[in-house]
Amino acid sequence: MGKEFSIIPRNVPLVDTPYRRIATALPHPDSVATLETLRRFEPQSMRGQPPIVWDRADDVFVYDKYGNRWLDWSSGVLVTNAGHGAREVRQAILDQVHSGLLHNYCFPSEERAALVECLAGLAPEGLDKVFLLTTGSEATECAIKLSRAHGLKVGGPKKIGIVGFERGFHGRTLGAQQAGGLAGQKAWIANLDPAIINAPFPDGYWQPATGFDTFLAALDRAGMRPEQVAGVIMETYQGVGPDFAPVAYVRQLADWCRQHNVVLVFDEVQAGFGRTGKFWAFEHYGTAPDLICCGKGISSSLPLSAVIGRAEIMDQFAPGSMTSTHTGNPVCCAAALASVRKILAEKLTENAAALEPALRAGLQQIQARHPDVVGRVTAKGLVAGMQIVHPGGQEPNHDLAHRIVEECYLKGLLLFAPVGAWGQTVKIAPPLTITHEALTEGLNVLAEATAAAVGNLLTDKTAAASPGRGSSPDLP
């Protein structure tokens, strides 16, 4: 599914607007040595992003050192919710570094105390325990561990089942990939845990049936009874879209979990901290989970994640038996506290909600121009996506999605590589500080890039179908 971007410099049209500046060949010839070094010493899995050697990033902009500036619609994969290099976040990091405390393992610190108190105060009532970690994968692994431990406690050795969802993604570690629903990404595991299953995700596009009966049917197919289920883990929205489940479905799921003493986990790693126009994306459903997994946008910068949950679930392990080496690193905690405060003080969640209609309308206009290849567009707050398909149906088209991202990069609009179960989605996730004017310019660039990519695709097909220069057509 993944494709490399070429690192051979190519001349491109100059761009100079208030939000973009492309003044050189791309990638710049002087950056190729760095790109080649990375390709020599890193695994090929690291070659999937547009070949910009980042020099600095500020608010909604990413710069190389050669005079080029991109309008960033990646947020560094949904991390920089408060903007790249926010002044408040930088200052908090500097102050913490200059304090002399850079690491303290699980020994107490004021920084950690301040952050966990803040996060507990932002969570729904009753979710008042916070465990800090480093990555989203670590958070979801912890949630699976807590869910299964709780199941064993309340239901005995038979209550160990974990239910995730098809096309879901919870990280790249062993448990996270089994709970996730991307079959190709967990083939390496070979001996999959039979007590971890996937139910259809009711997005209404790839899975037309959206009733809660699809969940119950999945349990029946797996031979798993309710009393055998310890936990259900669901992304509040699936990142491929963003695709949300119907509100009625999620409320029925929450009721079912309560009825059967099942831990409900909402994976908010890419959805939380204002991204969808609500501070927590699960607020759109009008219900709350037992555990929240956080990451990415929690700090707008440094590696940090968290699990927030109910005391009876979080307090299952004795002192010293559920920790992490970099739990609540003080520098990361300082950055996160500053980022959360900025999101709240500057009403960035509200900004995301206010810009959602313009973002959705812009994508719908692109879809209307290219209905054969833009199969689905969705937007919630400041996360959106175009799912690209082959003409005439719903077959995912990774190549065209990749080409759209590449065209955007060449025009000064930065997105990360296509995502989704088949790499078909052009994902849009600018920092929540973006203005209406910058969003509009980005939508115009995306429209131009999509038209160019579709035009190139048609040209390629025509060339492939025509005899080459100097060749002879087949004779009857």
Over the stretch 48-102, which tens digit does the pLDDT of each residue have?
Answer: 999 999 999 999 999 999 999 999 999 999 999 999 999 999 999 999 999 999 9
**Per-residue pLDDT reduced to its tens digit, 396-435:** 999 999 999 999 999 999 999 999 989 999 999 999 999 9
Q: CA-based angle 431:297:172, to the nearest 5?
A: 120
User: What would the DSSP string read from start to end of 319-380?
Assistant: TTSS--TTTT-HHHHHHHHHHHHHHHHTTHHHHHHHHHHHHHHHHHHHHHH-TTTEEEEEEE
**Per-residue pLDDT reduced to its tens digit, 274-325:** 999 999 999 999 999 999 999 999 999 999 999 999 999 999 999 999 999 9
Residues β-bridged to residue 425: 387, 419
First-last CA distance in the chain: 38
How far apart are alpha carbons 269 and 442 in whole angstroms?
25
3-state helix, strand, coil in the chain (%, to 5): 40, 15, 40
Greatest alpha-carbon pair distance for the chain in Å reads 83
DSSP letter for 206, please: S
What pLDDT sits at residue 316?
98
444-449, long-range: CB < 8 A, 24+ apart: 445/20, 445/71, 445/408, 445/411, 445/412, 445/413, 446/362, 446/366, 446/404, 446/408, 446/413, 447/362, 447/365, 447/366, 447/369, 448/407, 448/411, 449/404, 449/407, 449/408, 449/411, 449/413
How far apart are alpha carbons 439 and 434 in whole angstroms?
7
Q: Is 458 exposed, middle or buried (0-12, 13-18, 19+ CB in 10 A)?
A: exposed
How far apart are alpha carbons 310 and 292 in whole angstroms?
10
Is pLDDT at 459 greater than 80 in this prediction?
no
**What number is the average pLDDT over the span 207-229?**
98
How many beta carbons lie within 10 A of that of residue 361, not counting itself? 11
Evaluate the CA torsion angle 222, 225, 231, 233 in order and state its sign: positive
pLDDT category, 470, cuts 50, 70, 90? very low
**Per-residue pLDDT reduced to its tens digit, 342-381:** 999 999 999 999 999 999 999 999 999 999 999 999 999 9
Given a contact cutoff of 8 angstroms between Cβ atoms, the answer to whether 296 and 270 are in contact is: yes
pLDDT category, 457, cuts 50, 70, 90? confident
What pLDDT sits at residue 468?
52
- Structural domains in the chain? 15-85+348-462 (3.90.1150.10), 87-345 (3.40.640.10)
Residues β-bridged to residue 419: 425
**What number is the average pLDDT over the span 107-117?**
98
How far apart are alpha carbons 257 and 272 in whole angstroms?
22
Is pLDDT at 263 greater than 60 in this prediction?
yes
**Per-residue pLDDT reduced to its tens digit, 14-45:** 999 999 999 999 999 999 999 999 999 999 99
Is pLDDT at 476 greater than 50 in this prediction?
no
**Per-residue pLDDT reduced to its tens digit, 130-173:** 999 999 999 999 999 999 999 999 999 999 999 999 999 999 99
**Per-residue pLDDT reduced to its tens digit, 171-215:** 999 999 999 999 888 999 999 999 999 999 999 999 999 999 999
Share of the chain above pLDDT 90, in %: 93
What pLDDT sits at residue 462?
64
How far apart are alpha carbons 373 and 366 in whole angstroms?
10
Radius of gyration from C-alpha coordinates of the chain = 23
What pLDDT sits at residue 466?
60
How far apart are alpha carbons 99 and 461 in whole angstroms?
61
Place of tokens 């190519």: 10
Average pLDDT, the chain: 95
Place of tokens 């100059």: 14
Read off the pTM.
Answer: 0.95
Q: What are phi and psi of 383, to 5 degrees?
A: -130, 130
- Strand order across the beta sheet in which 383-388 lies: 374-380, 383-388, 425-428
pLDDT category, 464, cuts 50, 70, 90? low
Share of the chain above pLDDT 70, in %: 96
Cα→Cα distances 148→17, 129, 324, 330, 333, Å: 53, 18, 19, 30, 28
H-run or E-run covering 406:
helix 398-411
What pLDDT sits at residue 184?
86
